[in-house]
Structure formats: structure tokens, C-alpha cells
Amino acid sequence: MTAMLNVKDLRAYYGQVQALHGLSFSLNEGSLTTLLGANGAGKTTTLRAICNMVRSTGAIEFEGKPIGTRSTENVVRLGIAHVPQGRGTFTNMTVEENLQLGAISRSDKKAIVADIERMYEHFPVLKQRYTQQAGTLSGGEQQMLAVARALMLRPRLMLLDEPSFGLAPLIVRDLFRILGKINREEKVTILVVEQNAQLALELADQAYVIETGRIVMSGNAKDIANNEDVRKSYLGY
Amino acid sequence: MELFANQVLAGIATGAIYACMALAVVMIYQAIDHLNFAQGEMAMFSTFISWQLMQWGVPYWGAFVLTVAFSFAAGIAIERLLFKPLAKAPVLTNVAGFIALYAIINSVAGLIWDFTIKQYPTPFGSSPFLGSQLISTHQAGMIGITLLMLVLLFFFFRFTRVGLAMRAAASLPESARLVGINTSWMIALGWGMAAAIGSIAGMMIAPVVFLEPNMMLGVLIYGFAAAVLGGLSSPFGAVVGGFLVGVFENLVGTYIPGVGNELKLPIALALIVTVLVVKPAGLFGRAIVKRV
């Protein structure tokens, strides 16, 4: 298997404060990888650095091309969809407009219409509300919308920042089931950052554990789930 | 009763001027969250360009189209050169930038074309409109053009992809970048469109107030009042606000003794303050619904 995303020696800064201290990892094409870590470990920063939304140094390669110096919108246009923390919903626009915006960098109009229909199949609740202002959706519905919006890009790689945040457990299960399906059926490589380690490890095939801006463990998700340190720190048993 | 109806009609006619200007104000406010104090001067400068073209023998509509195109390009250039570097600067820095731009354009226009009042032609003629003494064909044409611009803007923002991208960039820049929108260019485009709309406003207003470098000062304040009244986030609100301010101004001048022409401008300012206190989002500004 070839590496789709290669990150080497990534260091990121917020003003004078260094948040990442030389992070290296890679994602295999078609994999579903999770990045685990406590609050403030640098998970969000890692995702933001990939999309060049925070000042960083190091090498980031996507499908063999260096992307470290590209602007956020140009990284996205390569096929990297990023579902940010807090979902980034365009709350004063309709559900359908949010989906349209997901595909704004594409020009194949017919395929876009078909893709919107496909999203309504994945997420039936969105279909019932397509003319509604997105801000009036519940948290779970907004998260579904955020994932659907990201898929409208027809991404090769999807980055998700704590999709389970603030959602009821049943909804999280539903969401993760859909993510698994997208990964298998649409061949989208997924990197998901999570605090809900148990669910994330069940879903993922690869896992990285990050502590204070460094990778401290990596490997097969099952092995990581069975690791005693991880169990104590992140799974709570 | 007839007096009332006539004054309302006359108010709508002047209101069209304010509506045009408010439309331009709202365009920039949408893009960058600031009121452009130099909006009126940009419109005045554009109007002088069209006047100059006509002096050189270009026919009215030719000059009109060239001026709108020039203004669009100039609006983008001003954003790229002057305000893009200020994008992350505090509000006051931006305000200083607007005021500097105001002074520069005003002086340059005075330097090139001097401060004497000039006649400016109207393409609609100035005979009474449908036999009414209160509204001329020019004013009727101006109302028509304002409404036409509003309809075009509505379709642009509602049904085109660029319009959608501009709205997204204005409401949530970070999310907009994450779907691949070049937000920086969307802002420039907003400036270009505002300058183009402003130039049309200027060319419509000039036959009424005469052409000179300070012609837009009062108009801009009424335009602000209209935009605030209608809601700074709504082009439709801006136009309705413009007509309302025009009517309001006329009725107050007619029915409240002692107001007259001298106190009309303070009334516009009082209106701004009142709206900001009572209904900050304006009449049509969309209050964002949020559910957590």
C-alpha cells in the first residue's frame, strides 16, 4: 500500500507558543485512521496544519506533492475535505445551500445534483429539511450536514475534528457507522481526531496516539486498543 | 389628502437616490463588515469619468457602460492595494483608511475637474412623468433602474454559484476556505460590485444635485440612514430603507413646522441613532437563528 498523506517533522506555532514538536505520521490510501489524545495534545492543530490554517514547518506531502505552502483553499481543492471542530455550518443558509457550497470548487453541474441526492440517501434527515436554515438543525443533524458538505467535494481524503463532540451516544454510533460505510464504499481515506477513544478504535484500522505535540504510539487499531497504557489513559479500564 | 399623496410620491423619487447609495453601502458592508465612508466619493469620481467621456464625444449609454466597467475594476484595485493589507488590522485603522480615501478622491477630483458646478445630462428627459408635477421622467427612470439593480442582485446572490460563494465568504470566512473558496478574491469582487453600483447611483443622482466634488456628501449620509434602517445585511432592506427615508424626510418637512430644509439632514442622523437603539438589525436584517 502506498502512503497517501505523508507528514514529516511537523512543528506548529500559535504566536510564540509551539503546539506541535516534530510530528511524523502517514496515512495509507483507503485507510481509516484515528488520532487520539487528551485535551490540548495537539490533535486539532495537526489537522489545521495539514490545511495550512496555522503557522507550521516541516514537510506535508499529499499523493506525492508537497502541500505545505499552499493556501487553505488550494489544499482543499486537491481533494482534502476538512470537517472542523464546531462543524463550521453556514447557519444562515439553507441545508441545500450548505451542500451546494461543499461542491463549490467543482464544475460538473449534473454530477453535483446527483451527489446531493446521494447525500439525502446517506442522511435522510437532511432531505426533510433541505429548505430550512441550517442553524435551526439539532447538533446531530448539523454534524451529519457537515459530513455531507465535506463529501460534496468528492474528497480523496477527509479530515474530521471530533465529530462526536456534544452528541448523544446513539447519534454518535449512527454517525460512525456512516463514516465506516463512506470509507469502504466510496474509498475515501479518513483521518478522524477523537476524544471518544473507544468508538474511534472500534471504527478505525490504524491509530496514532499523540501527547503534548508528539506521537507516542502508533499501529494497528486493535493492538492499540489492547495496549495497557492506552486502556488506562483513554479507555478507562 | 392630495398634499399627502403628492409628498409621498416626491419622497419616493428622492428615496430612489438614497436607495441606490444604500445598495452600494450594503455590498461592501456584507463583504468586509465595515461601512465605507469613501463610497460617495468613489461614486462622485466615477460620475466625473462618465462626464469626461461625454465631453470627449462618447454617447450617454456608451459612457455609462464604460464608467460602470471602469468603476468595477477601480473598486477591485482599491481593495487589492489599500484594504487587503488592512484586512487583519483593527477597526479604527480601517476607518482611518476610509477617511484617507475619502479625502484623496475628493481632492483629486477637485484638482482635475475643479469645484465649479456642472450640468449633467439625463437619458430619461426631465418632463413631468405621466403628467405629474412632482415626479419627472428622470426620477421615474431612476426608480426603475434602482429596482432593476435590486432584482439583478437578488438573482445573482440567490441563484449563481459566485453569488453563493460570496455570501459564504462574508458569513463564515474560515468555513468558506474549507470548501475551497478564495475568500480574499470574494472580498475584492464585493468591492468591485459596490463601486459599480455606486457609479450608477452617481450618474443617476448627478442630474438632480449637479456635478461637483462634494455632491455626494449629504446623499451618503442618507444612504447610511437607509442602509441602517433596512438592515445592513439585506440589499432588499437597503432599497426599502432608501424609499422610506425619502418619504419620511418629505413628510416631516411638510407637516412638522419649523423643520424645513435646514433640519432635514439632522433628521437622517436621528433616524440612524433611533434604529440602532430600537432595532439594531434593521427592518429586514436577518437575525440569525441559532439552536444549540
Reported ipTM: 0.90
Asked whether the beta carbons of residue B174 and residue A88 sit closer than 8 angstroms, the reply is yes
Identify the pLDDT of residue B137: 87
Residue A14 β-bridge partners: A17
Mean pLDDT score, B78-98:
89
pLDDT score at B20? 86
Q: What is the mean pLDDT of chain B?
A: 88
CA distance linking residue B279 with residue B82, whole number of Å: 33
pLDDT at residue B132 greater than cutoff 90: no
Contact (CB, 8 A) for B16 and B246: yes
| Angle made by CA atoms B210, B216, B217, in degrees to the nearest 5 | 125
pLDDT digit string, tens, across residues B140-188: 888 899 889 989 988 998 899 999 999 999 888 899 999 999 999 999 9
A147: nearest CA partner in chain B: B179
Angle at A160 between CA A156 and CA A165, to 5 degrees: 160
List, for residues B176-223, the tens digit of each pLDDT value. 999 999 999 999 999 999 999 999 999 998 998 889 999 998 889 889
The Cα-based distances of B275 to B20, B34, B230 in angstroms read 20, 18, 9
For A47, list phi and psi in degrees, rounded to 5. -65, -40
pLDDT higher than threshold 70 for residue A213? yes
pLDDT band at A45 (very low <50, low <70, confident <90, very high): very high
Cβ separation of A104 and B179 shorter than 8 Å? yes
Report the C-alpha gap between A237 and A229 in whole angstroms: 10
What is the distance in angstroms between the Cα of B64 and the nearest Cα belonging to chain A?
Answer: 33
Going by the DSSP 8-state scheme, the letter that residue A216 receives in this structure is E
Q: Which chain B residues touch A97 with a CB distance below 8 Å?
A: 164
Distance from CA of B153 to the nearest CA of A (A): 17
Cβ–Cβ of B289/A104 closer than 8 Å? no
pLDDT beyond 80 at B4? yes
Q: Give the mean pLDDT of A24-52.
A: 91
Lowest mean pLDDT among A73-87, B45-59, B135-149, B260-274: B260-274
* Phi/psi at A160 (5° precision): -120, 130
Helix (H) or strand (E) holding A23: strand A17-28
Provide the pLDDT confidence category of residue A1 given band limits of 50, 70 and 90: low
Percent over 90 (pLDDT), chain B: 45
What integer pLDDT is reported at residue B211 of this predicted model?
Answer: 93
What residue type is A163 in one-letter code? P
Check residue B292 and give its pLDDT.
47
